[in-house]
Amino acid sequence: MALLPSKSLVFTVRRQEAELVVPCEPTPHECKPLSDIDDQEGHRFHVRGFHFHQSNLSMKGQDPAKVIKEALAKALVFYYPFAGRLREGPNRKLIVDCTGEGVLFIEADADVSLVDFGDELYPPFPCAEELLYDVPGSNGLLNSPLLLIQVTRLKCGGFIFAHRFNHTMGDGTGLSQFMTAVGEIARGALAPSTPPVWERHLLSARDAPLITYQHEEYSHNTSSPENGTIILADNLVCRSFLFRQSHISSLRRFVPHNLRCSTFDILSACLWRCRTKALELDPNEDVRLICIVNARFKFNPPLPLGYYGNALGFPAASSNIGNLTQNPLEYALKLVKQAKTKVTEEYMKSTMDLLVTRGRPNVKLARSYIVSDLTRAKFKDIDFGWGEAVLVGPETCWELISFYIPSKNKKGDDEIIVPVCLPASAMKNFVKELEDMLKDEPTVHADI
């Protein structure tokens, strides 16, 4: 584990006025309900992400902002719901009013080069609020643009593509699919290679709802707050950690030879255990690890290729804190593996039924840690003509969730960057816990 150093880079961004980009051809004006997985409480926010692109000699003289804006207008013909606005119907049901009003687009320039960000790009990114400007009055859930894109040109000829995306419209896989379509059209395609599929009824509750799982990941009482510890937002520190293949191999020494596990399994178990120990919570309390699982292929037949809505399950592993922190890593690892196996077609149907019968509750946040694997979302493969991104990741770190961000070193070896946000005292404990588990591996120290 390498603790990546803090950044103090400061630069100036000059923005043009935000404009609305509309589909370049007429599109249907209709109302399209979201699925019951889409419009749950936990999706009712905007996701913010950054794509860092190098200069490319073959694109010399081309303006990335102009190229992307024109491709966006063409892609919206196929993905026209993104150009609409959300309305809320009875029982909080969200519906897309396909008005064709468009998505927000900002063109900008920064007096900085990609190399100035250093050898490693990772959250939290410097000057993030300037690289993705929140246009006043644009970030509401309802009656607001569903997508905002800012393209910031850099001195070196590279650029930063930043987006703010209404999560109810789709998950990481769906957003990646849309951005891939924009990239294909930017490179000359007439249509996306994967046609978009709406079909949100496939993830809507049954006519006779039937909850067949316990669903301990969801709040069962929407009218009263949860009991238990929630991290206080005071004195929070956001840091990123780099895990090389050698670090994952080192963690595997804690795993019995007959226990098969993925990189996600062992990394999640390690982070959950170290984070829980670092927080020094009451050992008699219970804690949860919520895994975000892509359920597209859990259905029979699988969801159609091109489905770009949310298809996520949130299975939870839970444990008494004392058991989690005092037992070997194998204990946490088995809980993570068991949680992932919960996500089946019936589990997803039961989830939909729970959401509509209980007022679309949020996942439980008290005593929870959420992990989301972005290594398979293919964001890095998105190519607007300048090649794939050097790095793609969320804007910053969040208190209760860590994203697994794919990266490569100079040799081309796969690595994983994990942003973590904790109170300052807990962050020191967290680093020590990780170092103790990886004491045979070199670490990079930095001030916390």
Same-domain check for residues 112 and 243: no
- The pLDDT assigned to 120 comes to 59
- The pLDDT assigned to 391 comes to 86
Q: Residue 5: inside a domain, yes or no?
A: no
pTM: 0.92
Q: In terms of pLDDT, which residue wins out, 3 or 435?
A: 435
Q: Is the pLDDT of residue 9 over 90?
A: no
Which of the four pLDDT bands, split at 50, 70 and 90, describes residue 7?
low
- The pLDDT assigned to 410 comes to 79
Same-domain check for residues 137 and 276: no
Q: Residue 368: inside a domain, yes or no?
A: yes
Same-domain check for residues 314 and 363: yes
How far CA 295 is from CA of 111, 112, 138, in Å, comes to 43, 41, 31
Q: What letter would DSSP give residue 384?
A: S
Q: Residue 444: inside a domain, yes or no?
A: no
Same-domain check for residues 298 and 432: yes
- The pLDDT assigned to 213 comes to 94
Task: Give the chain's domain count.
Answer: 2
Give the distance, in angstroms, between the CA of residue 424 and the centroid of all CA atoms in the same chain. 24
Structural domain ending residue among the three candidates 203, 229, 263: 203
Same-domain check for residues 171 and 268: no
Measure the CA–CA gap between 183 and 177, rounded to whole angstroms: 10
Q: Residue 446: inside a domain, yes or no?
A: no
Same-domain check for residues 234 and 105: no
Give the distance, in angstroms, between the CA of residue 440 and the centroid of all CA atoms in the same chain. 31
Q: Residue 144: inside a domain, yes or no?
A: yes
Whole-number mean pLDDT of the chain?
Answer: 91
Residues 91-134: pLDDT tens digits?
A: 899 999 999 999 999 999 999 999 988 765 788 888 889 999 99
- The pLDDT assigned to 307 comes to 98
Measure the CA–CA gap between 170 and 230, rounded to whole angstroms: 28
Structural domain ending residue among the three candidates 138, 168, 203: 203
Q: Residue 1: inside a domain, yes or no?
A: no
Same-domain check for residues 144 and 121: yes
Q: Residue 4: inside a domain, yes or no?
A: no
CATH number of the domain at 392, please. 3.30.559.10
Q: Is the pLDDT of residue 448 over 50?
A: no
Residues 37-93: pLDDT tens digits?
A: 999 999 999 999 999 999 999 999 999 999 999 999 999 999 999 999 999 999 899
- Structural domain including 66 reads 13-203
Query: At a CB cut-off of 8 Å and minimum separation 6, what does 381 contact?
Result: 180, 388
Q: Is the dihedral of CA 443, 444, 446, 448 positive or negative?
A: negative
Measure the CA–CA gap between 407 and 379, rounded to whole angstroms: 11
Selection from 201, 168, 158, 198 nearest residue 51 by Cα: 158
Query: How many Cα atoms occupy the beta-carbon half-sphere of 126 within 13 Å?
Result: 18
- The pLDDT assigned to 440 comes to 57
Same-domain check for residues 112 and 246: no
Same-domain check for residues 152 and 282: no
Query: At a CB cut-off of 8 Å and minimum separation 6, what does 421 contact?
Result: 236, 237, 238, 239, 397, 398, 399
E-assigned strand segments in 329-390: 368-373
Query: Scanning the structure block, which residue is given the tokens 């320039």?
Result: 109
How far CA 90 is from CA of 95, 147, 261, 356, 362, in Å, comes to 10, 25, 44, 12, 18
Residues 149-204: pLDDT tens digits?
A: 999 999 999 999 999 999 999 999 999 999 999 999 999 999 999 999 999 999 99
Per-residue pLDDT, averaged over 139-150, amounts to: 97
Structural domain ending residue among the three candidates 139, 169, 203: 203
Q: Two tokens at 315? A: 């299975």
Same-domain check for residues 27 and 174: yes
Same-domain check for residues 185 and 42: yes
- The pLDDT assigned to 55 comes to 95
Same-domain check for residues 17 and 59: yes
- The pLDDT assigned to 16 comes to 97
Which of the four pLDDT bands, split at 50, 70 and 90, describes residue 394?
confident
* Catalytic center residues: 167, 383
Q: In terms of pLDDT, which residue wins out, 429 or 7?
A: 429
Q: In terms of pLDDT, which residue wins out, 44 or 220?
A: 44
Measure the CA–CA gap between 413 and 418, rounded to whole angstroms: 16
